[in-house]
Amino acid sequence: MKFIHMADMHFDIPFTVLNSRNRLGEKRRLEQREALKKIVEYIKNNNVEYLFIAGDLYEHEYIRKTTVEYINNLFKEIPNTKIYIVPGNHDPYVNDSVYKTFQWNSNVFIFNEKIEKVENDDCDIYGYGFNDFYRKDSKLEDIRIENRDKINILITHGSLNGGTVEDMEYNPINKTKLKQLGFDYVALGHIHKLDYNNEPNQSIVYPGSTISLGFDELGKHGVIYGELNKENLNLKFIPMDPKEFKELELDISDLNSEEELIEKINSLELEENIYYKIILIGDKNFEINIYNLFQLINNENIIKIKNHTKLKIDLEELAKNKNLKGLFVKEILEELNKNNYDKEMLNDVLEIGLEVIK
């Protein structure tokens, strides 16, 4: 059998932060649509029999009827592909969910919070999802594979071996117990980072978010394509996001003015299909105003600029002075060292204080 495994598309997410720069949020929503269209085309061209959507297909609070219709119309283009959807914490199976209120195409099956099994000629599909925005219990203990001679697949959305309090809020799954169940493939969602080839014959898989939602999701994004029988599992990552988010460090230690910095940023050779965060590093010789930079740089693919530079100043030498600046630096150094503050905190406090005293 052949399948596509995707998760965490988050259709109609506001992209509030990205929208602050060149209406990027609106562009990303269009790119979400384009990504799903590419997935459907891939399914058509490769005669893929199954599509597994492991949660957070859309944002419950923001999903529009027109978006749901767009999704469903694409599903109609692949009538011979069986589509299985598990609701996640962003698209739970609540009373006003479009999973309940919308008439989906006949090839779409939507699981709810109860464990269900769907029998096919070549495989049995098990699934369960969220019926609320949180789910503190896992249903693993309630799962029993009924026919081990067939291919058995589980689809769910949750935190695998999560170690934080937050992880415990979203269907916490114990990997050891999950392996003991004996599924031939487990299609997971919720974690936006790709995880499919970190151990031999890995069958418990996160495809990551289908398109990147921001700079906390660097690298390529897409779906997992799989070919599976009882003896073999072959997986391949297929990129579907037309863009990629990257961070780029820029040392400004040899620059002496804002004008030189703008010229240096504008001279960078940047790839067209990449969204960039520029991280300024090194010792700075002038004040940096991020707002001013964005008004004057000419590359629209630069979405964020972060200032991680340090004051070019000998603090120990300055602390020896008997003037107000020297006394301030001396007291702050003593207090911060006593309390073991990190260097970044030290730099921020000193910058603000020295700017006020100047």
Q: What is the pLDDT along the chain (358 residues), one digit of tens a residue?
A: 999 999 999 999 998 777 666 678 888 999 999 999 999 999 999 999 999 999 999 999 999 999 999 999 999 999 999 999 999 999 999 999 999 999 999 999 999 999 999 999 999 999 999 999 999 999 898 999 999 999 999 999 999 998 898 999 999 999 999 999 999 999 999 999 999 988 888 999 999 999 999 999 999 999 999 999 999 999 999 999 999 999 999 999 999 999 999 999 999 999 999 999 999 999 988 888 888 898 899 888 899 999 998 877 777 777 888 888 888 888 877 876 776 665 556 666 777 777 677 6
Is the model's pTM score more than 0.85? yes
- Please give the structure tokens belonging to residue 191: 């974690």
Going from N- to C-terminal start, the domains of the chain cover 2-239, 244-357
Long-range contacts of 214-220 (CB under 8 A, 24+ apart): 214/15, 214/17, 214/18, 214/245, 215/245, 215/247, 215/277, 215/303, 215/304, 216/192, 217/192, 217/193, 217/245, 218/244, 218/245, 218/246, 218/247, 219/194, 219/244, 219/245, 220/244
CA distance 169 to 299: 41
State which amino acid sits at residue 33.
Answer: R
Residue recorded with tokens 């009538």: 79
Three-state secondary-structure class, residue 18 = helix
CATH number, span 2-239: 3.60.21.10
User: Do the beta carbons of residue 196 and residue 226 sit within 8 Å?
Assistant: no
Q: For residue 190, what is the DSSP state?
A: S
